[in-house]
Every structure is written in structure tokens, then in C-alpha cells.
Amino acid sequence: MRRKTREIFIGKVGIGGEHPITVQSMTNTNTKDIESTVRQILELEKQGCDIVRVAVPDREAAESIKKIKQRIGIPLIADIHFDYRLAIESIKNGVDGLRINPGNIGSKDKVKEVVSACKERQIPIRIGVNSGSIKKEILEKYNGVNENSMVYSALEHVKILEDLDYRNIKISLKATDVQLTVNAYKKVAEITEYPLHLGITEAGTPWNGTIKSSIGIGSLLLNGIGDTIRISLTGDPVEEVKVGKQILRTLGLLRDKIEIISCPTCGRTQIDLISLVNKVEKRIGNIQKPIKIAIMGCAVNGPGEAREADLGVAGGVGCALLFKKGEIIKKVEEDKLLDELVNEIEKL
């Protein structure tokens, strides 16, 4: 069962409470380069990104937010380190959320100024603890980098905001180590009701990062923990969104596309199943239907799986049986299988 969390809104997108789990990403363009940043965000939107974050390292980047916001459809978060003026400027320019750690802003007055600007426009703040940037004193107190020092670090930032009567908060506790990340999120989930933004930080290239993130984020989601996710990949952010959405689909938390079940093939396979599945995947990639199709190589497991799906294929010798809602509807020659299957999918 999903953990109960407080509800917050980044723009119009709800996080926590009963809201569906969202997928976020971060641009890797220079935020001052408005054209490239907008182009990338629109591409992320096309892939189903729910919320996007941009780096705001200086005043010019904060000013760009205004123009970027006018041309995109999804909520925008400003990622700020240390400089409270950039937070204020980003809020003035219409940003929907901030990623800033109040403990790193400086004097109480500066934090107060940021918080009152956030209060005025109902801008949530994400407190983001990274295993690599925990304060020395906390590391000493909790014996180095572990779930205790990560959670304590987050709670210290939370307290600063709560003392200013601000609870429009979400929390992330990211580490490069999967087990540590999972432990830290589990721990914080026991002691706070704030929504959690999940991620494995600096997870690596798309291949490694996808595996690391799927295991870490996937196991937390399976335990009902997590309200929004970001896959952190060294590559095109579009890949982050694709992976994030697929993790949600795999866990049954998102039903927007066709799910393909296919067998691994073996010595019994008598049709070119691998090529068939790849071609089907390409042809139906853009079809938005929450259905299940099973493409199986033979009659051993094939008919069983094929019957469970909305549409199914069980391969034979140079041909296959086509199933619809559990019933055999026709026998199709191998060379016509792809078209027949896609045709039936479109009819559903």
C-alpha cells in the first residue's frame, strides 16, 4: 500500500496524497540559452515528463525563467545552491517550485525572505540531501555517510522551514549507492509525512543508470514509498523520462501504453520471434492504449500467455495462432504476422 503523504502542488501538478506518481527530469542546456532550453523541455513534455527542473547558477539564468515559462506547458523548478537572491528572482519570474536547502542559504533573514516569497505564491521547496554533500558536523555525529546522517541532514533543513511555519515541502535523499538510498528513504518515510522525490544520484550512463535506478526506485515504489521520481542519467534527459515512465508502467503505476509480453525464445521457437517483437514494439510505440499483448514462440507456454492477454500470438512452424480475448481468431503465415497483429491492435 502506498504511504500516506501530505499533498503539495508544483504548478498544477499534484504530488503526494492521492496524486499519481510523477516523472521529473532536468535540462542539461545552459538555462540562459532560452531557445535550446525550451526546445529540450518541449521534447521532454512530448515524452510525458510531468515536471522539469533547470539549473539557476546566476541572475541571467533566473531572468530567463520568465521567457521559458511562457513557452512550455509543464511546471518549472529552479535548482539553486546557496544564493537566496536567485531564489527570490526565480520566484518573481514565475517559477513553480524551488530546489534549495534552507540550511545552506545563510542568515535567518535570508531564509525568511525566501520563505515569505514562497508563501506568497505557494511555491513548494524541495529539500535535497545528497550523500556527497552532508555537513562535516553531521558526518562526525553519525559516523560518516549512512542513512542516519542523510535523514538527520534532511530533518535539519525541514526544521528551519517548519520554524517559519512553512510545510509546503518535499524531500529527496539521494546517494549513488542503491542500498544506502533505499535505507535512507525507508527511514525518512517512517518519521515524516512529507512527499518524497525519489532518485539514485549520478546513476551513470543510460545502461548502468537504468539498472541502478530501476532497482533502487523500483524497490521503494514496491514498498509504497515515493511520490515523484527522477532518473539521473549521464545522457539525454529524454532518456530519463522514458526510463521513469517505463518503471511506473512496469509496476502497474501507469497504464497508458501497450504492454508487450514476449518469451525469451528457445530451441522450440520456429518463427523469427525476436525480429517480430522488435518490429511490433516500433510500430505500436505511439499507440496510447492500456492493453496487453503476448508474443510467444511456441505452443508450450504460448497459448496460455496469449489467452491471458488482450491479443496474443503463439508461434508454430512458419506460422502462428492469433488469439483475441482468449479465443483463437486465426492462423497467420509468418510473413503476414506483423501486419495482422498491428491491424488487430488498432481495431481494439
HSE, CB side, 13 Å, CA atoms: give it for residue 43.
16
Q: In what order do the strands lie in the sheet with 76-79?
A: 169-174, 125-130, 97-99, 76-79, 51-55, 22-26, 228-230, 197-198
Tell me if 268 contacts ligand SF4 by CB under 6 A.
Answer: yes
Which of helix, strand or coil describes residue 22?
Answer: strand
Tell me if 298 contacts ligand SF4 by CB under 6 A.
Answer: yes
247-266 residues near ligand SF4, rule: CB under 6 A? 263-266
For residue 229, CA distances in Å to 68, 136, 163, 166, 307 come to 23, 28, 28, 23, 34
The footprint of ligand SF4 on this chain (CB under 6 A) covers a number of residues equal to 12
Q: Which residue number is nearest to ligand SF4 in terms of Cβ?
A: 297
> By rule CB under 6 A, what string of x and - marks binding of each residue 129-168 to ligand SF4?
----------------------------------------
Tell me if 317 contacts ligand SF4 by CB under 6 A.
Answer: no
Tell me if 104 contacts ligand SF4 by CB under 6 A.
Answer: no
The distance of closest approach from Cβ of residue 324 to ligand SF4 in the complex, given in angstroms and rounded to an integer, is 19
What DSSP line would sit under 34-86, residue for residue? HHHHHHHHHHHHHTT--EEEEE--SHHHHHHHHHHHHH-SS-EEEE--S-HHH
Among 36, 104, 219, 301, binds ligand SF4 (CB under 6 A): 301
Among 269, 307, 324, 329, binds ligand SF4 (CB under 6 A): 269
Residue type, 218: G
Identify which of residues 287 and 300 has a Cβ nearer to ligand SF4 in the complex. 300
Tell me if 302 contacts ligand SF4 by CB under 6 A.
Answer: yes
**Burial class of residue 47 (count of CB atoms within 10 Å of its CB; 0-12, 13-18, 19+):** middle
The distance of closest approach from Cβ of residue 252 to ligand SF4 in the complex, given in angstroms and rounded to an integer, is 23
Tell me if 274 contacts ligand SF4 by CB under 6 A.
Answer: no
Tell me if 312 contacts ligand SF4 by CB under 6 A.
Answer: no
Cβ–Cβ under 8 Å, residues 6 and 167: yes
Q: How far apart are CA 23 and CA 20, in angstroms?
A: 10
Identify which of residues 103 and 297 has a Cβ nearer to ligand SF4 in the complex. 297
Which residue ranges make up the site for ligand SF4 (CB under 6 A)?
A: 263-266, 268-269, 296-298, 300-302
